[in-house]
Structure formats: structure tokens, C-alpha cells
């Protein structure tokens, strides 16, 4: 899986495709390739490594390539087979006249491959994708659309594909099942992509394909069918962000830019959604009434990675504000363990991209079992947003760095608002609701105050350059932030870091402590503070260096720590946001000093569209 770009129009296709791939580099990848055709020839150029190497290779090809007006391109994140040139996309059929790029996993590719080998097909790569290309070619009888539809009906698994054929150079065929495809429609040109970031430089008008859609893409027009070649209608949407949104804007890395964008992104997430008179939140996207909310008996929050950590903050808020039993589930576990779900359950799916494969599968399982399902997504028009039919958009803007920052803090802000709304439909008083609403409104200001401490945090990071292991500990609302802080550090600095509930240290993890290992103790003003300080002392007694993430002005706690990072004084339920921002800055500066690839950490992809 990773990035797909296809183009047909009146521009030089190779240049458009390379530029599109560059805009998808943030997703993480290990090889890249492009295929172009003009009807007389079909050429393929592939390289392991970065898009820059592919661009140089294309420049070295004969000048005739600059005349081609149709093509497909891909950045690959290895699933089947290592990141080599032969495993890179695009893949060709047996005739060499059809080229395909593919995201997803073909689960029955071994059976298809064995069938095709019996028919004389020979394969060059170790990938499941090449098998699909050969299958399309095996069905080709002069009509590419019919061949694609026939092949995809035999496929089990997920796919987002773009296909071109030397014999039909006037079209690109695109299709999806479980892996996103968006088509940008311009004047006399169209762009097919797995991510709107590759489209926005050409047009703001886009069409999102649904599962089992097949699109015939020609210059300036899109005809969409289902797998049985029956026409279907899909609306044209307007992208919310501009071409300049995906530029560094003077920052050294996208991650640093996005950390500093958080005051504005959180303002966008809460703007127009607070009702201070009634002490509640206005969340029309949930599409429900106070009476319907009052009938909900249980909340289940599903997500993966950073989104799951945000969900854990939401769990505390739902239980504290709404007196509602709440569970947080890893989305893949939720899908496969046959969960007990009732019609009175509220299932909330969290995904920055809205395309996370495990979370999408959890959504479908919850819908199948009759629950009320809603989504929290950042990408408008994403699959989870469309399939839930209701939910809350973050409006955080594009997040380019693989390690999520502003999506997390916006997810927490939105979860607090949803919990507040649920609470006000129950026993939460108007007075308490107003207090919580004011605290949520203060989040952008709290983040700005943390960002002012950037230099202090960067100085702390200098002590971490030679670190191999780190602990993050906390309780209550702070525990999910400890998990998120550890996740950020390991993602971008490659330091082995673990987040623990502070009370769990004595139940095993403390055996790992050695002299000099940093332990970040989250000890702002909140219940359990003194107990966490005691746990920090236990770590110090075993030679650990204690870094206190404390409330500003808490000199008593500061005196007990080896070093401190301060956050502004605030209620414990909003503290996860400024605390997370402080830990994001710490992780960033540690990774920068260690010379790591911050925006594109090794082995990771931005949108995880395979299981």
C-alpha cells in the first residue's frame, strides 16, 4: 500500500505524476514508479528509495516521454516482498501492454497466481499486486473496463487501483474496495489519487469512490459503474484545503509546523460548537436529539494508535461528565472478537484519515449489529465519514507528518465536547456544563502557552540524545497522555519508549529500570498526583532520571524532580491537550538532535489501509 496517482489530460503526464507523488511522500514509502503511454508505447520506470531517484531516472529517459498525456504512478510501502525495484509498482500484465498500481491486499492472490501459472503466466515480483495485473490482462479482450470488472469479481481482499492500457490510451480505469480513491475533475484533465493531497494542485473538485465502484476517467470527465458495469452516481465535492496547506511555510519539518498550528486547529475544531448559555455543545453532525442521547446505555470507542489514545481520554470524560459506562477497544480486536453490542450502544470510531482499515471494519461490524455508530474524522468525504453517515469533522487541516500531532489534540477536544453534550442530556448541571465549556474554550490559549516553552523543552531534549529507553507514567486523564508521549518518541526518534499507568510499575516494568533512564512523570494538579510522585521516587531510587511534567508554579513538586517541563494550570480533563503538546515538542527535538527522518519515519505509513 501507499500512494496512487493517475493522470489524463492536456499536460505532460510524467511531470504531473511526479509532483503528485512528492505530495504523497509524507505517507511513508520505500520505492516509487511511473508508467506512461501514448498508444504507440507503454513505458515503466521504477526505483527503490525516494521519489527524487525516480524523478532523476525519468529525466534520463528519451525525450519522447514528455509527449505522453496519460499515466499512473505509485509510492510503495512494502507488504508482500522487500522494497526492491522489481517489487515496486506499476506492475504489468503478461503482454506488457497493461500497467496497474495498487493499494491494499489481495488475500487470495496465491490461488489466482497458481491458476495463472498453469496457463503459462510467469511472474517477476513477490507481490500480490502483480498477480492482479496479470489477471486483468488475462481477461482483456479489447475492452479494459470489462477486463477490470471481471478480474475484480474474482478478488478477495482490498484494493484501490488505477490501470492504463497501451491499446486504449484515452482513459484511466480506477476502482476501490476498502482502500481510498479520489478523482479530481479539472478542465480537460483528471487526476486519480489515493489522497486528496495529490489532487489539490490541479483542482478542488473531487469525487470519492465508494466500495466496488469502477470509474472510467477521461480528460475532464468521470463515468462510474459498479462491478457489474451498471452506472452509479457519485456527487462532486469541494476540497476544504488549498495547495499551500501542504507546504512547510518556513518550518524545518511538517511535524514542527503542525505542532505550532494546534492553537488554530483546535479553534477550528470547537468554533461554532459551544453553547455557553446552556453549558453544552452544539454537534449537529451527530444527527440526534437529547431524548435519543438519553436512551444510550453504553459508549464504545474504537480506534488504533494515536486515535485509540485519544479515545482513552474520551473514556474518562464520558464516565465523568455523562455517568456512562464506556469502553475503549483496539479496532482490530473489536472486529475479530465478536463483541456484544446492543441497539442502546453508542459506537464512536476515531480515525484521522477516515480510511484506517481496522477501524472501518469495526464500523461495519457495529452497524451490522444494530448500534448507533458515529465517526470522528479529519478528512471530509472519507470512507468512515460516509459509511457512518454522522459524526464530527476535526477541521484540523491536512496533517502531512506521519506522526500525528494536531489530529490528536483536536480529537481530544471533540471527545470532550461530545461527552459534555451527553452529560447535559443526563444529570450534568447547567452550571457544571458552563464550567466545562469554558475550559474547552481555553484549550487554544493553553497550547499557545506551552509553545512559548519550546526553547526550554529543546534544552531538555539535549539530555536525551544518547538515550536508548524511556518510561512515561501517569494516572487518570494523564495515563493516555503517557501512552501517547511514548508513542511519539518511539515513532520519530526510534528510542524504545513505553507508557505505563503509574501504579503498574511495581507489577513488572520497574525491573527494566537502569541508571540514567529517563522517566517522564505526569504530575499536574489532578487526583492521584501524590501517588504518582511516590512512584517517581521509586524509579529515582533505582537510578532513573525523573522529568516532571508539572503545573506551572508548583515549586514543591519541581524540587523533587531532576528536571521539569511546565504546563499552565487547568482542570485535569483538559490537561491532556497541553501535556500532549509538550511531549510532542520533546519528541520532535530529541529526534532532530538524533538526526532522524522526522516527517517520514522508517517503516511507518500515514494512512494504514491494510490490516
**Average pLDDT by stretches of 10, the chain with 611 residues:** 88 91 78 91 90 86 77 84 85 96 92 96 93 97 96 92 96 91 93 88 90 93 93 86 68 94 95 94 90 93 96 97 96 87 94 89 92 90 86 87 93 98 95 97 98 97 95 96 97 95 90 91 90 91 94 94 96 97 98 92 63 53
Topology agreement, domain 248-441 and domain 448-597 = yes
pLDDT of residue 339: 86
CA 226, 228, 229, 231 torsion-angle sign = negative
Strand-strand pairing, 345-351 and 372-377: parallel
Q: What is the pLDDT of residue 64?
A: 64
- CA pair distance 298, 280, nearest whole angstrom: 20
- Cα–Cα distance between 440 and 432 in angstroms, integer? 12
Question: Quick one: pLDDT at residue 162?
Answer: 97
List the chain domain ranges.
2-242, 248-441, 448-597
* Cβ-count burial 202-229 (b if 16+ within 10 Å, e if not): bbbbbbbbebbbbbbbbbeebebbebee
Distance separating alpha carbons of residues 154 and 176, to the nearest angstrom: 14
- Evaluate the omega torsion of the peptide bond into residue 90 and state whether it is cis, within 30 degrees of 0: yes
pLDDT at 188: 92
Residues 6+ apart with CB under 8 A from 502: 473, 474, 475, 479, 521, 528, 531, 532, 535, 536
Strands across the sheet with 221-226, in order?
A: 91-92, 98-103, 159-165, 172-177, 213-218, 221-226
Separation of alpha carbons 133 and 44, rounded Å: 14
563-607 tens-digit pLDDT: 999 999 999 999 999 999 999 999 999 999 999 989 888 777 555
pLDDT in tens, 301-321: 999 999 999 999 999 999 999
Question: So what's the pLDDT on residue 85?
Answer: 84
Instruction: State the greatest distance between any 2 C-alpha atoms of the chain, in Å, as a whole number.
Output: 79
pLDDT score recorded for residue 287:
85
The pLDDT tens digits for 439-458 are: 999 999 999 999 999 999 99
pLDDT at 528: 87
Which are the catalytic amino acids? 2, 606
For domain 248-441, say whether CATH 3.30.360.10 is its number.
no
Q: Please list the residues that pair with 377 across neighbouring strands.
A: 351, 393
∠ CA 40-113-157, nearest 5°, is: 95
CATH superfamily of 2-242: Aminohydrolase, N-terminal nucleophile (Ntn) domain (3.60.20.10)
CATH of domain 448-597: 3.40.50.10490
Question: How much is the pLDDT for 283?
Answer: 93
* Cell numbers given for 115: 491458476
Q: Which three cell numbers stand for residue 590?
A: 530529541
- Contact predicate 557/548, CB 8 Å: yes
Q: What is the pLDDT of residue 239?
A: 80
HSE (CB half, 13 Å, CA atoms) of 527? 4
Q: What is the pLDDT of residue 595?
A: 95
Tell me the three state secondary structure of residue 550: strand
Question: CA–CA separation, 411 vs 376, rounded Å?
Answer: 7
Rounded to 5°, the CA angle 202-207-211 comes to: 135
| Beta carbons of 182 and 208 less than 8 angstroms apart | yes
Amino acid at each position: 500500500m501507499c500512494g496512487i496517482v493517475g493522470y489524463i489530460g492536456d499536460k505532460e503526464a510524467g511531470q504531473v505524476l511526479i509532483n503528485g507523488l512528492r505530495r504523497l511522500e509524507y505517507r511513508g514509502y520505500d520505492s516509487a514508479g511511473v508508467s506512461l503511454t501514448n498508444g504507440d508505447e507503454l513505458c515503466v520506470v521504477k526505483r527503490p528509495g525516494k521519489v527524487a531517484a525516480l524523478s532523476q531516472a525519468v529525466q534520463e529517459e528519451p525525450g519522447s516521454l514528455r509527449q505522453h498525456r496519460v499515466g499512473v504512478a505509485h509510492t510503495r510501502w512494502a507488504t508482500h516482498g522487500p522494497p526492491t525495484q522489481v517489487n515496486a509498482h506499476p506492475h504489468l500484465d503478461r503482454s506488457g501492454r497493461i500497467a496497474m498500481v495498487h493499494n491494499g491486499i489481495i488475500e487470495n492472490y496465491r490461488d489466482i497466481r497458481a491458476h495463472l501459472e498453469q496457463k503459462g503466466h510467469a511472474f517477476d515480483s513477490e507481490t500480490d499486486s502483480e498477480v492482479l495485473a496479470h489477471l486483468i490482462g488475462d481477461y482483456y479482450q479489447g475492452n479494459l473496463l470489462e477486463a477490470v470488472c471481471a478480474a475484480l469479481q474474482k478478488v478477495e481482499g482490498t484494493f484501490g487501483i488505477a490501470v492504463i492500457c497501451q491499446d486504449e490510451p484515452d482513459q484511466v480505469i480506477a476502482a476501490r474496495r476498502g482502500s481510498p480513491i479520489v478523482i479530481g475533475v479539472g478542465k480537460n484533465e483528471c487526476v486519480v489519487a489515493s489522497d486528496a493531497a495529490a489532487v489539490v494542485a490541479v483542482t478542488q473538485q473531487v469525487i470519492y469512490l465508494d466500495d466496488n465502484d469502477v470509474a472510467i476517467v477521461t480528460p475532464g470527465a468521470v463515468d462510474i459503474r459498479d462491478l457489474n458495469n451498471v452506472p452509479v452516481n457519485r456527487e462532486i465535492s469541494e476540497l476544504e484545503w488549498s495547495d499551500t496547506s501542504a507546504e512547510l511555510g518556513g518550518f524545518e519539518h511538517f511535524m514542527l509546523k503542525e505542532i505550532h498550528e494546534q492553537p488554530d486547529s483546535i479553534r477550528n475544531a470547537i468554533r461554532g460548537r459551544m453553547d455557553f448559555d446552556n453549558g453544552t455543545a452544539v454537534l449537529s453532525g451527530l444527527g440526534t436529539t437529547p431524548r435519543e442521547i438519553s436512551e444510550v446505555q453504553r459508549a464504545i470507542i474504537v480506534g488504533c494508535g494515536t486515535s485509540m489514545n485519544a479515545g482513552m481520554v474520551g473514556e474518562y470524560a464520558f464516565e465523568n461528565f455523562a455517568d456512562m459506562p464506556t469502553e475503549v477497544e483496539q479496532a482490530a480486536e473489536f472486529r475479530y472478537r465478536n463483541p456484544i453490542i446492543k441497539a442502546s450502544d453508542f459506537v464512536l470510531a476515531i480515525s484521522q484519515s477516515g480510511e484506517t482499515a481496522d477501524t472501518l471494519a469495526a464500523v461495519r461490524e457495529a452497524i451490522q449489529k444494530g448500534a448507533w455508530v458515529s465517526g470522528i474524522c479529519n478528512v471530509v468525504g472519507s470512507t468512515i465519514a460516509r459509511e457512518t453517515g454522522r459524526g464530527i469533522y476535526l477541521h484540523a487541516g491536512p496533517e502531512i507528518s506521519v506522526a500525528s500531532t494536531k489530529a490528536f489534540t483536536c480529537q481530544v477536544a471533540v471527545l470532550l465536547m461530545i461527552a459534555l453534550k451527553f452529560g447535559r442530556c443526563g444529570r450534568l448541571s447547567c452550571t457544571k456544563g458552563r464550567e466545562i465549556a469554558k475550559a474547552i474554550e481555553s484549550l487554544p490559549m493553553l497550547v499557545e502557552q506551552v509553545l512559548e516553552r519550546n526553547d526550554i523543552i529543546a534544552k531538555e531534549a539535549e539530555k536525551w540524545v544518547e538515550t536508548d529507553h524511556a518510561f512515561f507514567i501517569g494516572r487518570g486523564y494523564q495515563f493516555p497522555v503517557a501512552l501517547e508521549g511514548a508513542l511519539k518518541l518511539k515513532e520519530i526518534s526510534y528510542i524504545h519508549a513505553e507508557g505505563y499507568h503509574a501504579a503498574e510499575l511495581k507489577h513488572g516494568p520497574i525491573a527494566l529500570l537502569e541508571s540514567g533512564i529517563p522517566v517522564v512523570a505526569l504530575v499536574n494538579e489532578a487526583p492521584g498526583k501524590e501517588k504518582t510522585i511516590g512512584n517517581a521516587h521509586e524509579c529515582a531510587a533505582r537510578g532513573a532520571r525523573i522529568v516532571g511534567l508539572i503545573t506551572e508554579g508548583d515549586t514543591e513538586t519541581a524540587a523533587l524532580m531532576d528536571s521539569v517541563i511546565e504546563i499552565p494550570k487547568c482542570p485535569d480533563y483538559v490537561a491532556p491537550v497541553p501535556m500532549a503538546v509538550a511531549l510532542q515538542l520533546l519528541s520532535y527535538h530529541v529526534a532532530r538532535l538524533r538526526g532522524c527522518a522526522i516527517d517520514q519515519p522508517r517503516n511507518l505509513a500515514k494512512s494504514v489501509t491494510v490490516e
